[in-house]
Chains A and B, each alone.
Chain A
């Protein structure tokens, strides 16, 4: 590469190119090989747009051991009995064939950042730029008794959609009327800020209709509901009156798996169905390569390119990023596109957009049909060098069926965008 990032910044400062609304196609064609690690919302989106926006000039190889994409968004509806896990499960065939993306079903074990090589269980790949989209990892050192697959059979997290979601649904189905569902929420930041509170609604919806004498106990490590607080409080009081017992400042310190008993600093609570959502950090690959430099948990990036602040030519997108941004699917795709666009620019000897702007929306279902949103536009702040929330963001006035329909449309459209 003839131009490095410092040169770009110099060019950016000395020309007005960024403010032109249209650029001519005469710009240098991006060339090179990009390896994308991870095929979730962020990784799949980055792969697609890297190919499209480089007009096929960039070779893109995705390394992802799983052959199926299972959507976390809408997976709480499986618990409420309002979706089947197969409704949320997809293949990668169309993504690969429509965009000419190469795929390696393998697991990354290390990278050699100096020589730009990714090492996998079987073989290795050289790259010009590496994109890591590893999602989240659970911090089992804080709850070691939950680390084994056997204990997760009994106490699932169901915080990565898939078999555990189905398991938790089955446990709810076989719970007796009058039983107690206990769920714990880790301290923020974690994946999907409103997600646990939506889960409470979905479980309460199911129990209200099928096991009305049952209870939901929520042990929240946070001091209060951290997303859509007013809305969730109202929904719980009005739609699920008397069912939900919300306990703030309740960090789980111990779990007795056999008896499904959780301990906080203050009390011991026994459950019929127990769902512990463990504390989280950047996905395993980010940890392995040493990109998780913030509290040894999250990855610090340059918000113009999503390049790691500590490893050159390695970009990190999605839930692993350290930012005051919600860890959502829409956010993951928005970051992926800024990253892809910047890489296309860099590989074509141009400068990336100096002022990226993108949208985020998180819908939460409070029943089978009703949903509500939190939505914001985020703009790059050149002084603070972070993405900040623009004017006009906020939450719904109230949940509605109309927004329930839009939330379903959101899911269909984001799946279409990410996977076809």
Chain B
């Protein structure tokens, strides 16, 4: 990993825990027929409120679909340890386990990027 992060020793240790992730991601890509566990499927879907279905944001927040998995893990780690300041993501990142963050990274990296839309408005019926 050639990414320079201004982080404490404690945070650095937690990054090392994430090293297991790279193994996992290799596995995930090896078998195309694998689908996410129900646990990760539902957890990832609860991010949709802000990041869109399968991470395809309609705008105003980052698209997570197809996001590089190691970038994802590094951002989530940085939100957790405060090395990346955030308005709200530290609240969501801190509540997850390292394993969940790794699995979410794989899940979002595998999602196809598509153009999501907001449904068209209607005139309120009388």
Contact = CB atoms under 8 A, between A and B. Distances in A.
Contact of B95 (A87, A163, A356, A376): A376
A70 B121 CA distance: 10
B49 A412 contact: no
B119 A420 contact: yes
A89 B47 contact: no
A23 B91 contact: no
A89 B123 contact: yes
Given A68-B122, A341-B42, A406-B60, A361 B37 contact: no
Contact of A394 (B35, B39, B91): B91
Contact of A333 (B24, B46, B88, B118): B46
Given A406-B61, A409-B59, A413-B51, A390 B94 contact: yes
Contacts of B96: 357, 377, 390
- What band does the interface of chain B fall in when counting residues whose beta carbon is under 8 Å from A? 35 or more
Interface string A393-418: 11010001011011011101111110
Contact of A377 (B27, B33, B91): B91
A416 B91 contact: no
Interface in A366-380: 373, 375-379
A11 to B, nearest CB: 14
A338 B43 CA distance: 9
Contacts of B95: 357, 359, 376-379, 390-393
A413 B60 contact: yes
A403 B34 CA distance: 37
A376 B49 CA distance: 13
Contact of B58 (A24, A86, A359, A412): A412
Most chain A C-beta atoms within 10 Å of own C-beta, residue among B94, B99, B100, B118: B118
Interface residues of A, number: 70
B53 interface: yes
A353 B118 contact: no
Interface string B93-126: 1111001100100100000000011111111110
Given A53-B41, A393-B91, A416-B58, A67 B125 contact: yes
Contacts of A344: 38
A49 interface: yes
A330 interface: yes
Contacts of A415: 118-119
A291 B29 CA distance: 45
Given A22-B34, A338-B42, A409-B60, A417 B49 contact: yes
Contacts, number: 190
Contacts of A53: 41
A412 B46 contact: no
Given A393-B91, A416-B52, A409 B124 contact: no
Most chain A C-beta atoms within 10 Å of own C-beta, residue among B47, B50, B51, B122: B50
Interface in B2-31: 24, 27-28
Given A86-B123, A392-B91, A406 B50 contact: yes
Contacts of B24: 21
Interface in A324-371: 329-330, 333-334, 337-338, 341-342, 344-345, 352-353, 355-361
A258 to B, nearest CB: 26
A101 to B, nearest CB: 14
A62 to B, nearest CB: 16
A162 interface: yes
B88 A373 contact: yes
B50 A413 contact: yes
Nearest to A333: B49
A85 B122 CA distance: 9
A87 B121 CA distance: 6
Nearest to B96: A377
B34 A24 contact: yes
A330 B33 CA distance: 31
A416 B43 CA distance: 18
A285 B11 CA distance: 50
Given A53-B41, A89-B122, A413 B58 contact: yes
Contacts of B57: 409, 413
A164 to B, nearest CB: 11
Contacts of B47: 359
Given A53-B41, A337-B45, A414-B49, A23 B119 contact: no
Given A345-B38, A358-B42, A393-B95, A162 B124 contact: yes
21 contacts: A21-B36, A22-B36, A24-B33, A24-B35, A330-B46, A338-B42, A341-B41, A356-B39, A356-B42, A357-B39, A359-B46, A359-B95, A375-B91, A377-B92, A391-B94, A400-B87, A412-B58, A413-B57, A416-B118, A416-B119, A420-B119
Given A23-B36, A86-B123, A357-B39, 17 more contacts: A21-B40, A24-B33, A24-B34, A89-B123, A89-B124, A90-B122, A162-B124, A361-B92, A390-B95, A392-B80, A403-B88, A406-B61, A408-B60, A412-B118, A413-B61, A414-B49, A417-B48
